[in-house]
Amino acid sequence: MILVVGGRSKIGSALISRLLEQGEQVRALARSGEAGFPAEVQVTAGDLANPESLANAMKHVDRVFLLCGPRPDEVALNRAAIDAASEARVERLVRSSILGSDPDSPATFVRDHGACDAYLRAANIPYAILRPNLFMQNILENTIPSIGKDGVFYANAGQARISMVDTRDVGAVAAALLTEPDHAGAEVDLTGPEALAYRDVAAKLSQRLGRSVTYAEAADDDVRTALAGYGMSSWLVDSLVELFQDYRRSGEDGYAAQITDSIQRLTGSAPRTLDQLLGEARGQ
Ligand SMILES: NC(=O)c1ccc[n+]([C@@H]2O[C@H](COP(=O)([O-])OP(=O)(O)OC[C@H]3O[C@@H](n4cnc5c(N)ncnc54)[C@H](OP(=O)(O)O)[C@@H]3O)[C@@H](O)[C@H]2O)c1
């Protein structure tokens, strides 16, 4: 039995589909309800903030996938799950982190994931870590809806190039790390097949949407104001701004532009391109 924590996230739901296709038994921890999970999934009510619910969810489980959405208490919640998995003596824990994870990073997301990864490495439990780059799906969910009538969208990414990755490919790698032997201690950087600056994204959007789309560099404070206007907490707003500051530091050819072969190597399929994702989204 595999316990999936974070099964409603994009990576988690792609992972669950894969595991079910492979005939695995899947249990999902969810804070509320069963909506969004396939019928074959055994959904168990629980919360990373509630150790008793974690111990209960880990019963008769041999492998665990751990993903927690971005939150101020993310490090404590991940530690609690790692402790519970260690206590339950599970055979393997696969954690979803972020590219470049580093406990000393000035960017909160990257730093918190770095702390969680370090805690997992030191825990008494066989593990694997996925480090995906920025999700391509953000282009569909955030960038396209933000395009103004004038065809302009804004981000504080400067001219950084980012090898954005499709979350379905990340889920497929997670399935491989959970179900295949010989991955103990694996730490894999997951990227898409091309490093794209937002000017490149704009060119692809222009082609797919059939109208002129332009990227404009925004100042951090303008992005803060815009994100706060969507009702995001100040912690989330600051963390997002910091992440894009990190991409600016990475620049045209830094860590965020690296392209790895991990998806091809671990799934046997080439990583999806942004063109593919945009085409699928538009039924093209
Ligand atoms: N967005 C990106 O481009 C990007 C890039 C690289 C890495 N990442 C990382 O990927 C991860 C996923 O982010 P996301 O935005 O895709 O996540 P998301 O859609 O917000 O999903 C978060 C998941 O975490 C679960 N969760 C949150 N708090 C929980 C708690 N207290 N107890 C149990 N479950 C809890 C949620 O469970 P419920 O179903 O109960 O709500 C949900 O399934 C984050 O760690 C993020 O830092 C993101």
Q: How much distance in Å is there from the Cα of 69 to the middle of ligand 1?
A: 2
Tell me if 247 is assigned to some domain: no
Task: Report which of 1, 4, 135, 128 is spatially closest to residue 66, judged by C-alpha positions.
Answer: 4
* pLDDT value of residue 34: 82
Tell me if 96 is assigned to some domain: yes
**Number of domains composing the chain:** 1
Tell me if 71 is assigned to some domain: yes
Q: How far is CA 153 from CA 202, 209, 224, 260, in A?
A: 8, 14, 15, 28
* pLDDT value of residue 206: 97
- Tell whether the model's pLDDT for residue 284 goes beyond 80: no
For helices 274-281 and 198-209, give the axis angle rounded to 10 degrees. 30
What are the pLDDT digits (tens) for 168-204?
A: 999 999 999 999 998 999 999 999 999 999 999 999 9
* pLDDT value of residue 59: 97
| Percent of the chain predicted with pLDDT > 90 | 96
Identify the domain containing residue 48 by its residue range. 2-133+167-190+260-271
Reduced 3-state DSSP string for 143-201? HHHHCCCCCEEEECCCCCCECCECHHHHHHHHHHHHHCCCCCCCEEEECCCCCECHHHH
* pLDDT value of residue 283: 82
- Round the average pLDDT of the chain to a whole number and report it: 97
Q: How much distance in Å is there from the Cα of 96 to the middle of ligand 1?
A: 9
Q: How much distance in Å is there from the Cα of 74 to the middle of ligand 1?
A: 10
Question: Which atom of ligand 1 is nearest to 6's Cα?
Answer: 43
CATH number of the structural domain spanning residue 51: 3.40.50.720
Tell me if 61 is assigned to some domain: yes
Half-sphere exposure of 52 (CA within 13 A, CB side): 0
Question: Rounded to the nearest 5 degrees, what angle is found at the Cα of 271, between the Cα atoms of 268 and 273?
Answer: 150
* pLDDT value of residue 25: 98
Pocket lining for ligand 1, CB < 6 angstroms: 5-10, 12, 29-31, 47-49, 67-71, 77, 96, 98, 109, 132, 134-135, 138
What are the pLDDT digits (tens) for 99-128?
A: 999 999 999 999 999 999 999 999 989 999
